[in-house]
Amino acid sequence: MKSLAELQAIRDRAKAELNIRKENPNAARVLVGMATCGIAAGARPVLNAFTEEIAKRGLQDVTVTQTGCIGICQYEPVVEIEIPGEEKVTYVKMTPEKAVRVVNDHLVNKNVVAEYTIGANTK
Amino acid sequence: MYRSNVLVCGGTGCTSSNSLQIAQTLKDELKKQGLDKEVNVITTGCFGLCALGPIMVVYPEGSFYSMVKVEDIPEIVEEHLLKGRIVTRLLYQETVEEDTVKSLNKTAFYAKQKRVALRNCGVIDPEKIDDYIAQDGYAALGKVLTEMTREEVIQTMLDSGLRGRGGAGFPTGLKWKFAAANDADQKYVCCNADEGDPGAFMDRSVLEGDPHVVLEAMAIAGYAIGASKGYIYVRAEYPIAVKRLQIAIDQAHEYGLLGDDIFGTGFNFDIQLRLGAGAFVCGEETALMTSIEGKRGEPRPRPPFPAVKGLYQKPTTLNNVETYANIPQIILKGAEWFASMGTEKSKGTKVFALGGKIEHTGLVEVPMGTTLREIVEEIGGGIPNGKKFKAAQTGGPSGGCIPAEHLDVPIDYDNLIAIGSMMGSGGLIVMDETTCMVDIAKFFLEFTVDESCGKCTPCRIGTKRLLEMLEKITKGQGTLEMIDEMEQLCYYIKANSLCGLGQTAPNPVLSTLRYFRDEYVAHVVDKKCPAGVCKDLLEYTIVKDNCMGCSLCSRKCPVGAITVTDYIPAGKKRPAFEIDHSKCIKCGACMDSCKFNAIIKG
């Protein structure tokens, strides 16, 4: 170790891994429905796409968690996004490609992707 | 990138209840479910709630699984980690509230704690230096080497008010200042990890859960006093701590955080381990250094103090593990931050190892000035089986007992001395009404008699004579004069012993005499042990009218002391039994086996 900058580089790299172990009440939560219906409809690749995209963009205040069946099995894979202080948004019939866009538009730029939401898909 | 982290406690407590097997099964099951790229399993240091081990925490949810069994793992993996359904049945029940799960930090055990020295224990993987660096590890070392002068570092330590956590409470900054003031071609920094008090495991937990913090702090001390070499004197009985320390030293070398020219500043520092062979006296500073030199671990008179002539006759500073664990954060957050916690003369926090008759056996860290009542009743969860609190023993064989009347005294160095005990390293053994205080004093005296190195007479012979008198008292052969004699001898040993071991050895006797003299008198005058512990003063008797004649006790008796009589109690079908007191060894097996409460002791 020859400089503080080197230490800083290691810290930045290692921090992301540890962030997950801290309780953060302000964190946005991505909840992927992973009951039997969700898994059968392809929730696993969606979950992984969220994790990877969030890591790629280095988002600190987001956690990805699975959740059970919320009762709209025909719309699986279902993903809910909870941002503290905002209304919960439910995305339906998700795919890994859609997940990437949701991360970019919703989590980064704070624009809900209306066309993927349950509202747009049940009309 | 993992979406979930599962932390499995790898401290000594949980390891002994199979947590390493749990971690392995977890990895196998995750692989089976194809989750091994998504869920990371990390073996950490101690979480503190040792009574509930093995402990496992799943993040980001923060679900706290307690008393986990290997058989539970497939269910947890399939339900929780695959399908996202927390297995609430297996959670620590205090975190479960109807249909929601409470954060661990809101439970009674954790809510009142303030974790400074233990901040990384149960959070990071102690065998991964990157985890420590992520928690701002080695940033304090970087700061002192690139931004601070030696004097500024020492001044920060002085301003913080940090006092030695090994027990005596000497100001750390002052210690460093003395060592820095002495010029020499070579100086040393030592770490006292020879934690020998019965019931104390704070230092072990820090070493197992966060070994790098000790290395970093020792390097900081090295810079401050002008030393380039350090030794950690650690008990060989702590194999996990030794292993993780060695891994940490190797990793720090690899990253150039130990060795030559650290951070390109020209500062060199290296650390070696020295294993203690299990002598309690080697926790005393001069004996410890003599032992590091490869000689028999015996203390020597002071002065000269280690700051003048220590290891290999060179200026040396020696600090305890927990003291070191505070230092990097004092450097990073400032002396004022540290001094804002605690009481006027005792700053910061203190780690206690809770043990004895207490619900939550484990490790707690609280701000100085927390009362014993808060520690025992709130954090510790109180005394099991509805028994009453009698006393708490602090400071191990050097300390004393705190009776119920002092439960509300804010705990700090000076208050504990004032009530006849001492902080010690932080062992806190809780005793209930079934504990005999004379027996406790005897227990600690037996320990010091065993551990006295024999170099000085007051300690070698004085403690032996003291123990003999205590033995006579517990056998009902004591006299009131003997109690006075004992007290006198205590003061003599304290005043004349060479080192801390002898100087504090009589404390358990003195403090029990101070608060529980009536128990001594009961042993001497009435020949009774009020708590029913001292075997020679006990007699087990069968109350014949309650005896059903089932013969269970006579079959349990290991010496055949229980035989049937020809007395048939009124309303009973079979004759009662009786105990032959000449044969009875007072093991209590009969009383434990009797289903009808027909056997009494007293």
The yes or no reply on domain B539-601 and CATH 3.40.50.180 is no
The yes or no reply on domain B129-339 and CATH 3.40.50.11540 is yes
Q: What is the pLDDT of residues B229-245, one digit of tens each?
A: 999 999 999 999 999 99
Which of A33-42, A55-64, B108-117, B265-274 shows the highest mean pLDDT? B265-274
Domain borders along chain A are 23-121
Which residues of chain B does A36 touch, with a Cβ-Cβ cutoff of 8 Å? 83
The yes or no reply on domain B4-104 and CATH 2.40.37.10 is no
Reported in sequence order, the residue ranges of B73-164 that DSSP labels E, i.e. its strands, are: 96-97, 100-101
Which of A26-40, A103-117, B257-271 shows the highest mean pLDDT? B257-271
CB contact under 8 A, B105 and A14: no
Alpha helix (H) ranges present in chain A?
Answer: 4-19, 36-40, 43-56, 96-102, 118-121
Mutate to test the interface with A, among B133, B147, B148 (most CBs of A within 10 A): B133
Confidence of residue A55 (pLDDT cuts 50, 70, 90): confident
Cβ atoms within 10 Å, residue B261: 12
Tell me whether A9 touches chain B (CB under 8 Å).
Answer: no
pLDDT score, position B273: 97
**Nearest chain B Cα distance for residue A68, angstroms:** 6
Reported in sequence order, the residue ranges of B136-222 that DSSP labels E, i.e. its strands, are: 188-193
Residue pointed to by tokens 């007992």: B401
CB contact under 8 A, B256 and A1: yes
**Nearest chain B Cα distance for residue A100, angstroms:** 15
Residue B322 has what DSSP assignment?
Answer: H
pLDDT score, position A63: 86
Mean pLDDT of chain A: 88
Residue of A nearest to B136 (CA): A11
Confidence of residue A123 (pLDDT cuts 50, 70, 90): low
pLDDT score, position A59: 85
| In chain B, residues 81-100 whose CB comes closer than 8 Å to chain A | 82-85
Computed over its alpha carbons, how large is the radius of gyration of chain B? 27
CB contact under 8 A, B2 and A67: no
pLDDT score, position B278: 86
Tell me whether A114 touches chain B (CB under 8 Å).
Answer: no
Calculate the dihedral angle through the C-alpha atoms of B177, B181, B185, B186, rounding to the nearest 10 degrees. -20
CB contact under 8 A, B2 and A51: yes
Which residues of chain A does B60 touch, with a Cβ-Cβ cutoff of 8 Å? 20, 27, 63-65
Mutate to test the interface with A, among B83, B128, B132 (most CBs of A within 10 A): B83
| In chain A, residues 10-29 whose CB comes closer than 8 Å to chain B | 10-11, 13-18, 20-21, 23, 27
CB contact under 8 A, B139 and A3: no
| B349-356/B427-432 β-pairing | parallel
The architecture (CATH level 2) of A23-121 comes to: 3-Layer(aba) Sandwich (3.40)
Q: How much is the average pLDDT of A4-17?
A: 89
Tell me whether B144 touches chain A (CB under 8 Å).
Answer: no
CB contact under 8 A, A34 and B4: no
Which residues, other chains included, contact B417 with Cβ-Cβ below 8 Å and sequence gap of 6+?
none
**Nearest chain B Cα distance for residue A51, angstroms:** 6
**How many residues does this entry show for chain A?**
123
pLDDT score, position B218: 98
CB contact under 8 A, B1 and A51: yes
Q: Which residues of chain B have pLDDT under 70?
A: none
Roughly how many angstroms between the first and final C-alpha of chain A, as a whole number? 60
Class assignment of domain B349-432?
Answer: alpha beta
Q: What is the pLDDT of residues B360-407, one digit of tens each?
A: 999 999 999 999 999 999 999 999 999 999 999 998 899 999 999 999
CB contact under 8 A, B139 and A39: no
pLDDT score, position A71: 85
Which residues, other chains included, contact B410 with Cβ-Cβ below 8 Å and sequence gap of 6+?
B343, B368, B369, B370, B371
Domain borders along chain B are 4-104, 129-339, 349-432, 437-526, 539-601
Tell me whether B146 touches chain A (CB under 8 Å).
Answer: yes
pLDDT score, position B149: 97
pLDDT score, position B84: 83
CB contact under 8 A, B139 and A55: no
Tell me whether B136 touches chain A (CB under 8 Å).
Answer: yes
The interface predicted TM-score of the complex, written ipTM, equals 0.82
pLDDT score, position A68: 81
* Closest Cβ–Cβ partner in A7, A47, A51 for B142: A7
Whether B4-104 and B349-432 share one fold: the answer is: no
Tell me whether B246 touches chain A (CB under 8 Å).
Answer: no
**In angstroms, what CA-CA distances link B209 with B86, B216, B253, B435?**
27, 14, 19, 33
Which residues, other chains included, contact B391 with Cβ-Cβ below 8 Å and sequence gap of 6+?
B401, B402, B403, B404, B431, B435, B437, B515, B516
Task: Say what the pTM is.
Answer: 0.90
The yes or no reply on domain B437-526 and CATH 3.40.630.30 is no
Q: Which residue has the higher pLDDT, A23 or B302?
A: B302
